[in-house]
Structure 1
Amino acid sequence: MKASWTDKELIDLCLAGKDSGYTRLYERYATSIYNSIYRLVNNIAEAEDLLQEVFVNVFSNVNRLVELDSFEAWTKRIAINKSISHLRKRRIYFTDIDEVQGSEILRDDEENEWQQSRVEDIEQAIERLPDLTKTIVNLFLFEDMSQEEIGETLGLSHTAVRSQYHRAKQKIAQMIKEKGCYGR
C-alpha cells in the first residue's frame, strides 16, 4: 500500500470492501473525534463507547461517503450529535474544559502563573453556566461550530444561540470580575 492516501481514496477502498480503508480512516481521525466527544461527556469510558458507536455508524453508511466533501467534518458532526443525544438521555453534562488556546505565548514564570490562574477562573466560570449555555460555549469556542450549526444541532434558532452566547460571555466576565481584578 502507498504511504499517503487521501480520504477519497480510503473511502473508495471502504466501498470496495477493503478493511485497510476502514482502518486507515479510523487511525487518522479517532483521536480528534474522541477529544470532541470527551469535551462534551467528560467521562473516559463513555467517550470511548461513543467513539466506537460513531465509527460503527459512519462505516455502516459508507455508501453515503461518496458525495461527501469532508469525512472529518461529517464524522465530527455525527460525534457531536451522538454526544448531545447521550447527554440528554443521561442528563449528564460536562463540567471540564481541558484546553484554552494561547498558552504558548507566555513570556516567563510569573506570566505563566498569572495566565494559568486566569484559565482556571474561566474554566470555573464556564462550569457554573447553565447546561445549555455551557454546551453552546464549548461548541462555539472549542469545536469551531458556527452559531447556525449550533442552532441546527441543538434545535434552536440562530438568534437564540447568539443571545445565549452573548449572555454567557457577560456572565463569565461578571464572575471573573467578582472573583478579583487581573490588572498588574
Structure 2
Amino acid sequence: MIKEKGQLLLDYINRYVSLTEEEENTLLSKVVYRSYLKGQFIVQQGDICKYECFVLSGCTKTFYIDDEGQEHIVMFSIEDWWTADMGSFITQTPADYNVQCLEKTELIMFPYDIIEDLYAAIPKLERFFRQIIQKAFVASQKRIVRSFSLSAKERYVYFRNQYPKIEQRIPQYMIASYLGITKEFLSKIKSELIAEQ
C-alpha cells in the first residue's frame, strides 16, 4: 500500500533529484502514511507542527484565527502539493496556523525527528527540500506583492487562472477569505466578469 502510494511521492521528488532504488526504499521506510476525514486538523494554532506533509489526495486549507475570531486563509493544498505550518515545523515552536482538511485527505508525512536521519542517509533529499522551500518562499513573496499591487478583481482572476482545479472544490466564502474580501464582494466581481464576456 505505502509503496503504491509512495510512487506518487517518488515521481514528484524525481522531478528535482534522481533517487536510486535503494534510496527510494529507505525513504519510504521512514515516512508515515495517514488518511484524514473532512474537517480534521493536521495541525492547530498553538501546537507544534511535527510533520511536513505531501498531499496524495484531497484538499486542505491553511489559515489563522485573529483575536476577533475571524478566519484568514493563506493557502490551499491539493494533490501533488505540500502542506504544514512550515515556520513551526522548522523551528519546532508553536504553530501560527491551522491546517484543516476540506475533503477526505491522504498524506505522506515526514516526521520532524527523522528528517535529519533522512538527510544523512540520502543527502540529495536536503537539496530537494531546499528547492521546495525556495519555491514556496518565492510564491509567498509574489503573493504579498499581488495583494498590494492588484485590485480584488485582478487577484480573483489570477487565482482562477492559476488554480482552476481548486476553485471547483471549495466554497466561495473560502476563496473570498483567501483574497482578503467578503463573499458578497466576490459575488459582485464574478457577476461583473460574466457581464464582460
The two structures have a TM-score, normalised by structure 1, of: 0.33
Structure with greater strand share of residues: 2
The two structures have a TM-score, normalised by structure 2, of: 0.31
Comparing both chains, which one has the higher relative contact order based on Cα–Cα distances under 8 Å and sequence gaps of 6 or more?
Answer: 2
Structure with greater helix share of residues: 1
Larger radius of gyration: 1
